[in-house]
């Protein structure tokens, strides 16, 4: 049965995975989407489609993935992972899983795609040994940041498709020089500058956190909400072990009295021996879930007064547990 469309995640790994599949299976039809669209079945995936870096749909030709949670979902609905067509391995990226599959099938891929997989492993698993390494300007980072520049969904799709098709026959270094990539990269750098300014306004530390281990980013005083990457706090605070972001949930552009908490470990923490565990704190406080390196959750309040009173209590509880871990 001939394959028809590649359905992939709309991030760097998804884009790279699609480039590998285009070359390996001789396809040029690609659809980019978000994991939720597959989980909620709001996207149609057929039995001739190749699915990359996304939850496992009910029908598909080949499924490639590396997220443990997605494999658990297959098991929960009674699926047999050994009979799945495609390949699952808990690798650092989905592109790495596809590379392994191609090797098993005797499908030779050009050298520049091997180089692309090495770069994708680092980006998708945030595998950095220092803040400098993460901040370094290299072709893979230029593409990743160009993808992250704010775009409407249609433009975002066009741009990902452009990158995928370019990477079939060109190296990362060549594609990074393309004018379209440079334009989006410059747009990202302008957005990032604004995010850094915003962070400088709203970063605090808990009074009990004398060594400034946990960066608190409190956005609740703002009436409007733009995008903010909390990892950027590591630029000004490279010694911190984690970042905690607190923001209001917005619905239809209106600020609600629900708070969203998200926390992740820093590059410094990831390269140290420690027992820090974000998910354990969120589970203990019945706030949410995640994994040791990152967790998120939400708390609903009936009024602004209740929100204000509880916000600091929750921050204190998270901070105390984090310092004690
Ligand atoms: Mn991935």
For 60-78, how does the pLDDT look when each residue is reduced to its tens digit (9 = 90+)?
999 999 998 899 999 998 8
pLDDT of residue 1: 63
- What are the C-alpha distances in Å from 273 to residues 122, 241, 276, 277? 20, 12, 9, 12
Instruction: For residue 93, report the distance from its CA to the centre of ligand 1, in Å.
Output: 5
Please tell me the distance between residue 124's alpha carbon and the centre of ligand 1 in angstroms: 6
Q: What proportion of the chain, given as a percentage, has pLDDT over 70? A: 100
Q: How far is the CA of 6 from the centre of ligand 1 (A)?
A: 15
- Rounded to the nearest whole angstrom, what is the distance from the C-alpha of residue 229 to the centroid of ligand 1? 18
Spacing, Cα 258 to ligand 1 middle (Å): 29
Residue 291 is classified by DSSP as E
Between the CA of 275 and the centroid of ligand 1 the distance, in Å, is: 25
In this prediction the pTM is 0.90
Task: Give per-residue pLDDT as tens, 248-297.
Answer: 999 888 899 999 999 999 999 999 998 999 999 999 999 998 889 999 99
Ligand 1 center to 216 CA (angstroms): 28
Distance 17 CA to ligand 1 centre (A): 9
- Side-chain-side CA neighbours of 236 within 13 Å: the count stands at 20
- pLDDT of the residue at 226: 77
- Residue pair 254/247 in contact (Cβ under 8 Å)? The answer is no
The answer to whether 221 touches 202, Cβ cutoff 8 Å, is yes
Residue 321 has pLDDT above 80, yes or no: yes
CA of 88 to the centre of ligand 1 (A): 12
Question: Domains in the chain and their CATH numbers?
Answer: 6-184 (no CATH), 205-324 (3.10.310)
């Amino acid at each position: 049965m001939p394959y028809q469309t590649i359905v992939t995640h709309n991030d760097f790994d998804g884009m790279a995975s699609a480039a590998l599949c285009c070359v390996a299976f001789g396809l040029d039809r690609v659809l980019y989407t978000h994991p939720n669209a597959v989980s909620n079945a709001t996207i149609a995936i057929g039995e001739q489609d190749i699915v990359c870096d996304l939850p496992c749909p009910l029908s598909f030709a080949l499924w490639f993935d590396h997220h443990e949670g997605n494999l658990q979902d297959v098991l929960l609905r009674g699926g047999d992972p050994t009979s799945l067509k495609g390949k699952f391995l808990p690798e650092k990226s989905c592109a790495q899983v596809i590379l392994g599959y191609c090797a098993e099938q005797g499908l030779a891929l050009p050298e520049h795609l091997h180089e692309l997989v090495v770069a994708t492993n680092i980006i998708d698993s945030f595998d950095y040994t220092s803040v400098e390494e993460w901040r370094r300007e290299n072709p893979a980072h230029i593409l990743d940041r160009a993808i992250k520049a704010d775009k409407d969904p249609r433009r975002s799709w066009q741009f990902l498709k452009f990158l995928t098709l370019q990477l079939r026959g060109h190296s990362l270094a060549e594609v990074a020089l393309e004018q379209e990539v440079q334009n989006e990269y410059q747009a990202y750098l302008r957005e990032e500058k604004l995010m850094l300014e915003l962070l400088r306004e709203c970063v605090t530390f808990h009074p009990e956190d004398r060594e400034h281990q946990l960066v608190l980013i409190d956005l609740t005083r703002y009436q409007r909400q733009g995008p903010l990457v909390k990892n950027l706090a590591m630029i000004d605070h490279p010694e911190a072990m984690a970042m905690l972001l607190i923001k209001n949930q917005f619905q239809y552009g209106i600020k609600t009295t629900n708070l969203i908490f998200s926390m992740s470990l820093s590059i410094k923490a990831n390269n140290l021996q420690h027992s820090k565990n974000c998910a354990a704190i969120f589970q203990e406080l019945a706030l949410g879930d995640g994994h040791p390196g990152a967790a998120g959750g939400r708390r609903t309040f009936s009024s602004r007064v209740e929100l204000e009173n509880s916000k600091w209590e929750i921050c204190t509880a998270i901070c105390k547990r984090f310092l004690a871990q």
